[in-house]
């Protein structure tokens, strides 16, 4: 490694929780996951951002949004701009597989969202990943490399601009809620392909190597160890398990152990 990358556990609550209960859930998870060596982020629905931020104010857990619009402002009913998230969130998920599927988001659109995040000081968690048929056809790496290249081209970012802020989550779409499971070695191979794609898009080797790559594919406390055992993987984007304090406690505990082991190895 060029430098020790942070270990990040990000919770994507998706369309779950309400303003009435989100703060309590966030505070419970924060108390159950107190680990100094792990960057913790909770991404609730938009309407829960304020109560979650208030609940997490003294905990060291950051708040993230689940999406952002690709324009700074305008006649876009029902949408949220990056500027609107100021004071509510410090992170933002961009290009999640469910938005690619349900809202038909393209890599070009995702690239513009990436740029809006960086302009506004939001730290993006940029999601990429292949479908089952693409993996079975032996095209997984090519598909993800192309996703990275198209989004970066559309973002207008060049030469590693934003490298200090960008986090990438590898989501094997075929392993999300399907009962299928990816292996740690698969995720590590794809993480290296992602960093290779950054270099192919003009990033310096050192800048690409500094980018944390998370695994996001139905992560649980039982499965996280296999992925964190891979040096190329730097944490997880957690879906369903992120609503369960006991699951999050197990995931973050494993992440803290990994961070300690990597720090010791780097001495």
C-alpha 206/C-alpha 208 separation (Å) is 5
Strands (E), the chain: 7-12, 38-43, 62-65, 91-94, 123-128, 167-170, 213-215, 235-238
Catalytic residue, candidates 69, 96, 98, 230: 96
C-alpha 182/C-alpha 253 separation (Å) is 21
Q: Is 171 left (phi over 0), alpha (psi -120 to 50) or beta?
A: beta
**Is 171 an annotated catalytic residue?**
yes
Q: What tokens appear for 134 in the block?
A: 């693409």
Strand pairing class (7-12; 38-43): parallel
Residue with tokens 């309590």: 24
Q: What's the longest Cα–Cα distance across the chain?
A: 53
Using an 8 Å Cβ cutoff, are 6 and 255 in contact? no
Catalytic residue, candidates 141, 171, 230, 247: 171
**Is 69 an annotated catalytic residue?**
no
- The crossing angle, in degrees rounded to 10, of helices 22-32 and 245-266 is 40
C-alpha 100/C-alpha 145 separation (Å) is 16
Q: What tokens appear for 105 in the block?
A: 């988001």
**Catalytic amino acids?**
96, 171
């Amino acid at each position: 490694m060029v430098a020790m990358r942070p270990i990040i556990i990000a919770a994507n609550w998706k369309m779950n929780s309400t303003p009435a209960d989100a703060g309590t859930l966030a505070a419970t998870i924060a108390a159950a996951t107190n680990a100094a060596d792990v960057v913790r982020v909770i991404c609730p629905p938009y309407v829960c951002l304020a109560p979650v931020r208030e609940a997490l104010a003294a905990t060291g857990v950051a708040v993230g949004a689940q999406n952002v619009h690709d324009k700074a402002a305008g006649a876009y009913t029902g949408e949220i701009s990056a500027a609107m998230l100021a004071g509510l969130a410090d992170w933002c998920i961009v290009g999640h597989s469910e938005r690619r599927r349900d809202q038909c988001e393209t890599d070009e659109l995702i690239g513009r969202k990436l740029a809006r995040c960086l302009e506004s000081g939001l730290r993006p968690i940029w999601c990429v990943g292949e479908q089952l048929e693409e993996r079975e056809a032996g095209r997984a790496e090519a598909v993800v490399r192309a996703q990275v290249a198209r989004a970066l081209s559309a973002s207008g970012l060049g030469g590693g601009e934003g490298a200090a802020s960008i986090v990438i989550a590898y989501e094997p779409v075929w392993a999300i809620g399907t009962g299928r499971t990816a292996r740690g070695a698969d995720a590590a191979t794809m993480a290296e392909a992602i960093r290779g794609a950054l270099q192919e898009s003009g990033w310096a080797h050192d800048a690409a190597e500094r980018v944390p790559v998370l695994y996001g594919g139905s992560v649980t406390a039982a499965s996280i160890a296999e992925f964190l055992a891979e040096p190329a993987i730097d944490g997880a984007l957690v879906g369903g398990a992120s609503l369960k304090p006991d699951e999050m406690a197990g995931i973050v505990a494993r992440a803290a152990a990994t961070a300690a082991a990597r720090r010791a190895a780097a001495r």
